[in-house]
Amino acid sequence: MSKLPEQVLPSQRELQADYEVSLISSIFTRDLPTSGERSGKSAAPNAEKNKEIKAEQALNIYQNNFLENGIRALAITFPTVENLISPESFRVLAKHYLLHYEKSAFDWAEYGASMPEFIDEQDALADSPFLSECAELDWLIHRIQREADADFVAESFAKLEITELSALRFTPAPGLCIMPSWFPVVDLYQLVHDPYLQSKEAVLAREDLLKNINKSINNALNSAINSEPPRSLVVWRAEYKAQFEYVSDAEASVINHILSEEPVSQVIEAVVKHDLDLSEWLSEAIQKKRIFAVE
């Protein structure tokens, strides 16, 4: 082969960029190595072959590091899902997810947003139709617990007495949102995270809860068949830990008015329209710190 003229030879910087693409793409696109390949045990027939095998083993290590780091990170983000399907099954799920969704976020904590949809698409998880919703709740909790802190300004609510309501707006708690829910995700969350329910003394309570959960799952499946609307789960952060509970459709509608940054006057109109008791609604919203201030 004739030598290329010097000006068309790629620069070291271009070659470095090629190398970066080559190594990164090998992490994301190559087939998973067999256990023999991963352990790096191979006899080398000659030096050149040995060199090739070593490079292959090295790429396996980097891909394995990526998968192990990713599985660890996803287990932190989706603890309810991991607990419900077992750590072993979660490893399989997480590995498939990691190979399906490329990691474009720098921070592992920002990776995993599509897990609920991904779970929905897994035939192997068809027997656990509630799992996708649990993943959605896990993701919301994870995201909300990383939101910026906000000051709860109790004295600001005095403005409601003295200021024109159309000039005021409620400040929602960090992460306040409404999640549609068909399945008993609150009970499922409690089942795996409540320390008492994990104790030996709680065998009967756990059995009762499981019965309720199974009943609710059947009801949810029937509701879906009948195209009934979901319930509303409100999720927010009062202090450091995310809170969540079911609310009525009326309460959910009012919260949506707050999230739309409507003036207090319109939020109150919604409260009245839904036949909610205004002072009771306001006192609960403040006491549970779903709203942090009025400005």
List contacts with other proteins (CB under 8 A). Answer: 10-13, 15-28, 39-41, 44, 47, 50-51, 54-55, 57-59, 61-62, 65-66, 69-70, 73, 102-109, 145-150, 174, 237, 240-241
Among 68, 62, 49, 52, smallest CA distance to 23 is for 62
At closest approach, how far in Å is the CB of 43 from other proteins? 9
Q: Give whichever of 26 and 156 is closer to other proteins, judged by the CB atom.
A: 26
Q: Give whichever of 105 and 203 is closer to other proteins, judged by the CB atom.
A: 105
At closest approach, how far in Å is the CB of 118 from other proteins? 18
At closest approach, how far in Å is the CB of 189 from other proteins? 18
At closest approach, how far in Å is the CB of 274 from other proteins? 32
Q: Give whichever of 242 and 254 is closer to other proteins, judged by the CB atom.
A: 242
Q: Give whichever of 70 and 184 is closer to other proteins, judged by the CB atom.
A: 70
Distance CA 172, CA 271 (A): 16
Q: Give whichever of 103 and 169 is closer to other proteins, judged by the CB atom.
A: 103
Cβ density class 170-208: b for 16+ within 10 Å, e for less? bbbbbbbbbbebbbbbbbbbebeeeeebeeeeeeeebee
Among 68, 62, 53, 71, smallest CA distance to 19 is for 62
At closest approach, how far in Å is the CB of 17 from other proteins? 5
Sign of CA dihedral 43, 49, 51, 55: negative
Sign of CA dihedral 227, 228, 231, 232: positive
